[in-house]
């Protein structure tokens, strides 16, 4: 099985100056490569595994809808349908100066947002890259790092005169992991997602932890609201486009939020909120089909990803869709073909055998390669993995990327369709604000979602249109903080 690797003839990685331009050598032509026919046979099998038919999509939507209803009815469900305590839509006349901190999947972002009314805003921001170690280090240390970065940011802005000295600014904290909330400035982390695993955080109130680090670094800020990126995106998108009724994130993780009638959230009936009031729901739909795995068509590659992840069984829907996993799915298919001796025979494959070494961005690049020779794909394999490819292999890899990317988009359409169908938005139509690297950068992702919606609903599916959303974790979070201040100042549910 490992013969292909042991027989390696060229193990030298490309020199640092290797560029994506590539010249084929005669030596490369002599390597034993997979034939066109063999690749076509493999592709047919994979096509059967990764294609989701319209009928299957409709079945998924039905199961999804039921899951959403369960999450609203009872606490502690797999898809938790989190009441966010964001009451209704913004008026677009919210004003003021706010800080926003976004602890998402890849970066930490700190922002100073000025809402100037009439749906307008100004934003100043800084980004800090999170290391893999920080994601696994003690939770309080992670929050302390946030506090430290925010302190540096506020100090710099006080010095430049952007922030008034001695002013305590209201802060919106975007923490994009599932948290159960009893009120808007509280949230117990249910579980880490997206590869995070910082101990001593799950089951703890992340706002309390964050406040502790703000005090430690004497940051002039008061946490007013905790949100997740998706809720922020819903609010920010509606702020500029009032037709927006649903927001989705398709990035390192995936999720959706929408506005629900309080009377239709039975699990918070005891709070005595006016049933006709509206509240944003953070679905946390990435957890759909977790543990039971009854509804989603998982391939053996998806099962491997799940079992080897730091959270086996969890985030089943997200693991088929989000940017954290798509590259890994493709890599696992390639590794199987290597093991079978179908591709890269006689080449040293150690680089591509490293888990998570195949970035999802490579899938985007492969799909958008405009050249007949597929030069971009040559570049990816030679530059990053020191592997030579034939045209037949490159065409195969591109087709494979398309299968994986298309499946992700069609499953995403199922999630959107479940909310649309539950809320009865199909006839009147609605706009869906969407954000995240997959949605923004993967070629054709949005078109494939739209195609999927037509497969589910027929022609009426065209009434549901996704569009690039406003920045939820910066602007959205600031608007949520502003709305919360206005609500509490008016004495409306001040304890929530």
Q: Catalytic residue positions?
A: 176, 191, 229
- Of 226-234, 236-244, 336-344, 438-446, the window that binds ligand BGC (rule: CB under 6 A) is 226-234
Number of residues that bind ligand BGC (CB under 6 A): 18
Q: Least distance in Å: CB of 425 to ligand BGC?
A: 21
Among residues 230 and 290, whose Cβ is nearest to ligand BGC?
Answer: 230
Lateral strand order in the sheet of 169-175: 120-129, 107-117, 95-103, 169-175, 221-227
Among residues 154 and 252, whose Cβ is nearest to ligand BGC?
Answer: 252
- Residues 236-275 close enough to bind ligand BGC by CB under 6 A: 249, 251, 253-255
232 binds ligand BGC, rule: CB under 6 A: no
- Of 57-65, 127-135, 171-179, 289-297, the window that binds ligand BGC (rule: CB under 6 A) is 171-179
318 binds ligand BGC, rule: CB under 6 A: yes
Instruction: Map residues 81-120 to x or -, x wherever contact with ligand BGC holds by CB under 6 A.
Output: -----------------------xx---------------
228 binds ligand BGC, rule: CB under 6 A: yes
Q: Least distance in Å: CB of 70 to ligand BGC?
A: 18
Contact 192, 198 (CB under 8 A): yes
Among residues 194 and 406, whose Cβ is nearest to ligand BGC?
Answer: 194
Instruction: Map residues 277-296 to x or -, x wherever contact with ligand BGC holds by CB under 6 A.
Output: -------x-x----------
Contact 60, 83 (CB under 8 A): no
Among residues 251 and 474, whose Cβ is nearest to ligand BGC?
Answer: 251
- Of 115-123, 206-214, 222-230, 480-488, the window that binds ligand BGC (rule: CB under 6 A) is 222-230
Instruction: Map residues 14-43 to x or -, x wherever contact with ligand BGC holds by CB under 6 A.
Output: ------------------------------
471 binds ligand BGC, rule: CB under 6 A: no
- Residues 172-191 close enough to bind ligand BGC by CB under 6 A: 176-178
Q: Least distance in Å: CB of 82 to ligand BGC?
A: 9
Q: Least distance in Å: CB of 176 to ligand BGC?
A: 4
Among residues 318 and 393, whose Cβ is nearest to ligand BGC?
Answer: 318
Radius of gyration of the chain (CA): 24
233 binds ligand BGC, rule: CB under 6 A: no
Residues that bind ligand BGC (CB under 6 A): 104-105, 176-178, 193-194, 228-230, 249, 251, 253-255, 284, 286, 318
């Amino acid at each position: 099985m490992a013969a292909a690797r042991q027989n390696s003839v060229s193990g030298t990685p490309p020199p640092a100056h290797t560029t994506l331009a590539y010249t084929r050598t005669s030596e490369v032509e002599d390597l034993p490569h997979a034939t066109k026919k063999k690749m076509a046979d493999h592709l047919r099998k994979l096509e059967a595994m990764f294609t989701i038919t319209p009928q299957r999509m409709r079945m998924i939507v039905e199961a999804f809808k039921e899951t959403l209803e369960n999450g609203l009815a009872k606490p502690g469900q797999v898809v938790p349908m989190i009441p966010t305590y964001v009451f209704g839509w913004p008026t677009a006349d919210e004003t003021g100066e706010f800080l926003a901190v976004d602890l998402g999947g890849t970066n930490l972002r700190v922002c100073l947002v000025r809402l100037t009314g009439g749906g307008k805003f100004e934003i100043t921001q800084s980004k800090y890259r999170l290391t893999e170690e920080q994601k696994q280090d003690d939770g309080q240390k992670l929050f302390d790092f946030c506090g430290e970065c925010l302190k540096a940011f506020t100090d710099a802005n006080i010095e430049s005169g952007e922030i008034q000295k001695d002013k305590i600014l209201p802060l919106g904290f975007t923490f994009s992991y599932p948290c159960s909330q009893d009120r808007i400035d509280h949230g117990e982390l249910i579980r880490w997602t997206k590869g995070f695993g910082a101990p001593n955080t799950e089951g703890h109130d992340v706002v309390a932890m964050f406040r502790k680090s703000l005090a430690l670094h004497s940051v002039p800020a008061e946490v007013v609201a905790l949100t997740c990126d998706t809720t922020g995106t819903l609010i920010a998108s509606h702020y500029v486009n009032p037709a927006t009724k649903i927001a989705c994130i398709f990035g390192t993780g995936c999720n959706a939020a929408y506005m629900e009638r309080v009377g239709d959230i039975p699990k918070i009936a005891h709070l005595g909120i006016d049933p006709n009031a509206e509240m944003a729901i953070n679905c946390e739909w990435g957890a759909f089909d977790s543990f039971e795995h009854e509804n989603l068509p998982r391939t053996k590659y998806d099962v491997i990803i799940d079992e080897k992840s730091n959270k086996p069984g969890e985030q089943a829907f997200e693991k088929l869709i989000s940017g954290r996993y798509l590259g890994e799915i493709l890599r696992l298919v390639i590794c199987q073909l290597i093991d079978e001796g179908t591709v890269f025979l006689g080449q040293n494959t150690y680089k591509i055998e490293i888990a998570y070494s195949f970035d999802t961005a490579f899938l985007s690049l492969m799909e958008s390669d405009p050249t007949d020779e597929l030069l971009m794909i040559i570049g990816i394999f030679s530059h990053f993995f020191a592997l030579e490819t034939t045209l037949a292999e490159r065409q195969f890899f591109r087709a494979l990327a398309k299968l994986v990317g298309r499946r992700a988009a069609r499953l995403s359409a199922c999630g959107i369709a479940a909310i649309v169908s539950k809320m009865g938005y199909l006839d009147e139509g609605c706009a869906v604000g969407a954000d995240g690297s997959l949605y923004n950068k993967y070629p054709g992702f949005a078109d494939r979602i739209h195609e999927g919606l037509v497969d589910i609903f027929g022609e009426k599916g065209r009434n549901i249109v996704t569009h690039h959303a406003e920045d939820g974790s910066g602007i959205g979070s600031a608007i949520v903080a502003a709305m919360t201040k206005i609500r509490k100042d008016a004495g409306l549910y001040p304890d929530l």
